[in-house]
């Protein structure tokens, strides 16, 4: 297989794909091209190795950033993209700059053991209703996540054996290279920055120290959450390689549209159609709230369509606070479409008594119109 094939093309994903999409695509392709499922065919084995190489790069944010910028050249000749540092906010790049200027100015941090690497953070999208956002909710989610290997307890070495210190870096996990007047420190290419080499890897996890498992987690959604609210579950993300700490799991909430209410912050909005007699004479309507309580809205006589009436404290709860927002009801005056003979008779009597003062807006409009046309 050509070494020029793009990693994203190999995994059949877009360059903007998130970690979950990349992982899902890798699992599907790895199963399809696994040598054991293809009778040991050379082309399938080559494709399988290329897929693993692509996933090993793109699953690591630091390696992926280097690849996106420099391509495979980032990993050649000990390039700075070699050997990512997990989900540590691009610590490898900061280490490079600190070592450049630290060594030059005599203020370097010295040689530090890399140690186990932290696992990746994960994202889970959870849809809830507006009622659940109002009251809060306790639920469970199931996620596929890497966990310590049962065969080696996360060490990556075959049971009864142990990892040995890397001879290239002396167990430090980093190597130094002279570039002009600067000394640059990079992750060791032999041990990938771990400081240790596993001579006899665990057959169950192939030296990774972790494997995929399905985990069920309890999630507590507090009252007042909004669309896009993020809940962090510490230590529930991907397990770190070879005994490294786990990343975090972030639950992103998506609030479904409601049939009656719209939301803006802690304010709830609803439209309420009323009869034209109620609009003319005034009255009272009852709007059921998300708190399952009836809220009486008083309608002043002569109200017009589009007028908004506010009910204090009948909106959404304040997230992690006290109190509630408001309920805003927008009035829509409905003109009757079906009238009985008696109703028509009464309306004709009313029209016969109209002077124009009952509807000043319409009277003013036609007065201005007549003046403009000089009628």
Note whether 266 and 325 are same-domain residues: yes
In-domain check, residue 374: yes
* Residues 326 and 268 sit within 8 Å (Cβ to Cβ): yes
Residues 6+ apart with CB under 8 A from 326: 266, 267, 268, 310, 311, 312, 313, 314, 315
In-domain check, residue 295: yes
Note whether 139 and 118 are same-domain residues: yes
Domain that holds residue 242: 112-163+198-256
Note whether 374 and 284 are same-domain residues: no
Q: Write down the pLDDT at residue 76.
A: 62
The owner of tokens 């017009």 is 304
Q: Write down the pLDDT at residue 343.
A: 92
Residues 6+ apart with CB under 8 A from 337: none
In-domain check, residue 52: no
Q: Which residue has the higher pLDDT, 289 or 150?
A: 289
Q: Which of 215, 232, 256 is the last residue of a domain?
A: 256
Whether 311 has a pLDDT exceeding 80, the answer reads yes
Note whether 123 and 155 are same-domain residues: yes
In-domain check, residue 273: yes
Q: Which helix (H) or strand (E) holds 28?
A: helix 19-33
Mean pLDDT within 75-100: 41
Q: Which residue has the higher pLDDT, 161 or 80?
A: 161
Whether 269 has a pLDDT exceeding 90, the answer reads yes
Q: Write down the pLDDT at residue 135.
A: 95
Tens digits of residue pLDDT in 207-258: 777 777 888 999 999 999 999 999 999 989 888 776 678 889 999 999 999 9
Note whether 250 and 347 are same-domain residues: no
- Number of domains within the chain: 3
Note whether 319 and 265 are same-domain residues: yes
% of the chain beyond a pLDDT of 90:
36
Whether 272 has a pLDDT exceeding 50, the answer reads yes
19 band by pLDDT with thresholds 50, 70 and 90: confident
Note whether 268 and 345 are same-domain residues: no
Note whether 116 and 213 are same-domain residues: yes
In-domain check, residue 75: no
144: CATH: 2.60.260.20
* Residues 331 and 303 sit within 8 Å (Cβ to Cβ): yes
Record the pTM: 0.56
Residues 6+ apart with CB under 8 A from 46: 1
Note whether 283 and 246 are same-domain residues: no
Note whether 235 and 350 are same-domain residues: no
Query: What is d(CA 375, CA 356) in angstroms, rounded to the nearest whole number?
Result: 18
Q: Which of 108-117, 196-205, 241-250, 346-355 has the highest mean pLDDT?
A: 346-355
Q: Which residue has the higher pLDDT, 153 or 137?
A: 137
Q: Which of 238, 256, 274 is the last residue of a domain?
A: 256
Mean pLDDT within 179-199: 78
What average pLDDT does the structure give for the chain?
81
Tens digits of residue pLDDT in 331-368: 999 999 899 999 999 999 998 998 878 777 766 666 67
**How many CB atoms sit inside 10 A of residue 59's CB?**
17
In-domain check, residue 243: yes
In-domain check, residue 300: yes
In-domain check, residue 288: yes
Q: Write down the pLDDT at residue 115.
A: 54
Note whether 332 and 343 are same-domain residues: no
Query: What is d(CA 138, CA 330) in angstroms, rounded to the nearest whole number?
Result: 33
Note whether 142 and 274 are same-domain residues: no
């Amino acid at each position: 297989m050509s070494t020029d094939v793009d990693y994203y093309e190999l995994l059949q994903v877009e360059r903007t794909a998130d970690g979950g999409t990349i992982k899902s695509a890798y699992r599907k392709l790895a199963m399809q091209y696994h040598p054991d499922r293809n009778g040991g065919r050379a082309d399938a084995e080559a494709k399988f190795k290329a897929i693993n190489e692509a996933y090993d790069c793109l699953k690591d944010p630091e390696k992926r950033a280097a690849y996106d910028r420099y391509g495979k050249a980032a990993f050649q000749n000990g390039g700075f993209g070699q050997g990512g540092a997990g989900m540590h906010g691009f610590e490898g790049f900061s280490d490079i700059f600190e070592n450049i200027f630290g060594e030059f100015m005599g203020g370097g941090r010295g040689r530090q053991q890399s140690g186990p690497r932290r696992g990746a953070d994960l994202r889970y999208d959870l849809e809830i209703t507006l009622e659940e956002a109002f009251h809060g909710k306790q639920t469970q989610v199931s996620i596929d996540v890497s966990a310590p290997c049962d065969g080696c307890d996360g060490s990556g070495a075959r049971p009864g054996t142990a990892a040995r210190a890397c001879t290239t870096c002396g167990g430090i996990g980093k190597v130094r290279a002279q570039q002009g007047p600067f000394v640059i420190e990079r992750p060791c290419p032999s041990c990938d920055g771990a400081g240790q080499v596993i001579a006899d890897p665990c057959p169950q996890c192939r030296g990774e120290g972790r494997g995929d498992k399905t985990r069920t987690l309890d999630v507590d959604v507090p009252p007042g959450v909004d669309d896009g609210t993020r809940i962090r579950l510490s230590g529930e993300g991907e397990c770190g390689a070879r005994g490294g700490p786990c990343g975090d799991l972030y639950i992103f909430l998506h609030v479904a549209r409601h049939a009656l209410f719209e939301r803006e912050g802690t304010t709830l909005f609803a439209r309420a159609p009323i009869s034209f007699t109620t609009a003319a004479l005034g009255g009272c309507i009852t709007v059921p709230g998300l708190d399952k309580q009836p809220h009486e809205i008083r309608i002043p006589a002569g109200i017009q369509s589009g007028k908004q009436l506010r009910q204090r404290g009948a909106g959404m709860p304040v997230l992690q606070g006290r109190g509630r927002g408001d309920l805003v009801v927008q009035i829509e005056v409905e003109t009757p479409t079906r009238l009985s003979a008696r109703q028509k008779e009464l309306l004709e009597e009313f029209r016969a008594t109209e002077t124009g003062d009952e509807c000043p807006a319409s009277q003013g409009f036609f007065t201005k119109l007549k003046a403009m046309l000089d009628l």
